[in-house]
Chain A
């Protein structure tokens, strides 16, 4: 039995943060029904990356919304709203990411819904929380990366602010939502009442920076300083970073220079003997290391360094990793199939329970694909 079997989730969320939480709940065994606007459906159906579409919906939409059902409803139509309320009576979780005030207008705000079903766990995703001057700003990943200071942590010293090249804020927010929803379900197991779980992209992105923010709060408010070249973490000492070799790259994690330097057939200059200097003189030290690493192939360095238990690695592309035995042995990918019979290869849930990997071949639904079935099943 998958851990969340028997739980019913109604997902009013669109785009990435909320639906990624719904996907995780689905993969862990819950039944997830997307509540979507008739015909158009949720926003990310039309949001493509690399212009790739599967059917009427984009490949990204399919990636995030597999293993779910779709119920089409116009929340402004009283009949449809009534059906939704009936469905909410038997649901365990609902999630939405409407901007503050919208659910109140529709009549599906927490107060109203918890009166209908006091056991329901109600999840909300916002951009910036529901008060304050940014409450109505669009909560989009890159914008939150830009506003939260995050873009000053990646890239090297002379680069412009460098965003992380994935929807990191969305995904972290979705993870926090999942955590909050599940924690509230555990509490419900004891108290028999539901609860309200709220996350925001900004709070989640600040939490993501908790280590460096805690350092910043307590180091007299110093600012992150990225290394001159090959930066991998603004706050970590040399050799931490990526170096060019004769035929590629090598990544070096934290390793005492006193261990590393002799392995490179060098002598550590007096000026770099103290561990403090490894941070203070980071750029100079990394310059020296760069001049050494460039002289041999990556594999040659790995042979020398791995034998001495130094934390280092090659730098792989998708082709390198996805064709590697270390990837294949994970059995991380799976084939899913939509109702037209189209097959898509995607990844599976990363969590293994009781040594079992979870697969599910159900692809994302078309808008309203399950409406009739759900109407019958729940007598709506």
Chain B
């Protein structure tokens, strides 16, 4: 039995943050009904990446919204809205990511909804929280990365701001929402009462930087400084980074510089005996290392460092990774099938329960594919 079986989620959210949360709930066993606007649906359906379409919708929409049902409703229409309210009366969880104020105008705010269903766990994601000067700003991933200080952590010192090349803020705020919703469901199973769970993209991406922000507070607010080359973490000393070798790249995590010097046969490194120098002189050390590591192959260096228990790894792109037994043994891919028979390959839920991987063959819903059935089933 999947852990969230018989939990009903009504998801009013769109794009990535909210829908990625309901995907996780679906994969853990919940039934997720996605409420979409007539005709257009979730805007993400047409947010194509690299111009790729799959069965008319964007690949990212498929990745985020498989394993869900779709119910079409115009929330501004009274009749449609009252149908949604009826559905919410039967639900365990509601999710939305409207901007502050919009949900009140729709009459689907927590106060109203919790009167309809006092047991409801009501999850909301905003961009910047319900208060303050930015509350009406668009909550978009790259903007949040840019405003939160995050872009000064990746890349090298002279690169200018370097964003993380995935929707990290969406994904993390969605993951926090799942945590809050599940915690509230745990409490509900004891007290019988629902809860409001609120996250914002700004609070989530600040939390993601808890180590470095805590450091900023402790060091008197010094600016973030990345290393001149091979940076992998602005606040860590050498050798932490990725280095070019003769035929590829090598990643080196934390390690003792003189030990590395001895193993690699790089005498210059053995002179850095003081632990503090590994941070204070990290630019210099990284320069020595990158020059030295370029003289031989990744495999050569790995064959020396791995047996000595140095934290190191090859640097792979997907092509090489997917050919490894280590990838294949995970069974991370699954095939899903849509209502019209269209099949596609995607990834599965990363969590294993009772030694089992959690798979679901249910594909992405067509817009409004389940409206009729849901109306009948719930007498809407």
Which A residues are within 8 Å of any B CB, using their own CB? 1, 3-7, 24, 28-29, 47, 49-52, 59-60, 62-64, 128-129, 131-134, 137-138, 140-155, 159-168, 171-172, 175-180, 182-187, 189-191, 195-200, 202-204, 206-219, 221-224, 226, 231-237, 240, 242, 244, 249, 251-254, 275-276, 279-280, 311-322, 325-327, 329-330, 332-333, 344-347, 349-355
Contact = CB atoms under 8 A, between A and B. Distances in A.
Contacts of B213: 318, 322, 333, 346-347
Contact of B198 (A47, A172, A244, A355): A355
Contact of B50 (A253, A279, A349): A279
B149 interface: yes
Contacts of B216: 318, 322
A252 B140 CA distance: 10
| 9 closest residue pairs by CB, A with B | A165-B153, A189-B189, A329-B132, A182-B182, A132-B329, A153-B165, A146-B251, A214-B63, A235-B49
> Which bucket holds chain B's interface residue count?
35 or more
B11 to A, nearest CB: 16
B98 interface: no
A348 to B, nearest CB: 8
Interface in B151-188: 151-155, 159-168, 171-172, 175-180, 182-187
A327 B216 CA distance: 15
Given A142-B313, A166-B211, A330-B200, 16 more contacts: A3-B183, A3-B184, A51-B280, A63-B211, A133-B329, A138-B309, A155-B155, A165-B155, A166-B233, A171-B208, A183-B351, A186-B185, A218-B344, A253-B143, A316-B149, A350-B203
Given A219-B50, A347-B207, A175 B172 contact: yes
Q: Pick from A159, A252, A254, A311 the residue with the most CB of B within 10 Å.
A: A311
Given A149-B318, A214-B63, A347 B218 contact: no
Nearest to A179: B178
Interface stretch (B33-41, B79-87, B320-328): B320-328
Given A163-B232, A195-B353, A212-B49, A4 B178 contact: no
B314 A214 contact: no
B350 A347 contact: no
Contacts of A326: 128, 132-134, 147, 202
Interface stretch (B70-78, B223-231, B265-273): B223-231
Interface string B285-325: 00000000000000000000000010111111111010011
Contact of A3 (B167, B187, B346, B354): B187
Contacts of A242: 142, 146, 151, 160-161, 163
Given A203-B350, A218-B344, A209 B166 contact: yes
B244 A218 contact: no
Interface in B317-367: 317-319, 321, 324-327, 329-330, 332-333, 344-347, 349-355
B28 interface: yes
Interface of B is mostly: mixed
A342 B91 CA distance: 47
27 contacts: A3-B187, A52-B215, A133-B329, A143-B251, A146-B315, A155-B165, A159-B159, A162-B162, A165-B162, A178-B179, A179-B178, A185-B182, A186-B7, A186-B182, A187-B4, A189-B189, A196-B353, A199-B352, A208-B166, A214-B59, A251-B151, A253-B138, A253-B143, A254-B140, A315-B151, A326-B147, A352-B197
A154 B165 contact: yes
Contact of A311 (B28, B51, B138): B138
B146 A313 contact: yes
A240 B143 CA distance: 10
Contacts of A235: 49-50
B175 A253 contact: no
B108 interface: no
A207 B350 contact: yes
Q: Interface majority SS on A: helix, strand, loop or mixed?
A: mixed
Interface stretch (B99-107, B234-242, B256-264, B371-379): B234-242
A131 to B, nearest CB: 6
Contact of A214 (B186, B190, B344, B349): B344
Nearest to B23: A210
Contacts of B159: 155, 159
B186 A251 contact: no
A196 B161 contact: no
A133 B321 CA distance: 13
Nearest to B248: A161
Nearest to A312: B143
Contact of A210 (B138, B219, B346): B346
Looking at A4, A50, A234, the one whose CB has the most chain B CB atoms below 10 A away is A50
Interface in B34-70: 47, 49-52, 54, 59-60, 62-64
Nearest to B310: A138
B186 A4 contact: yes
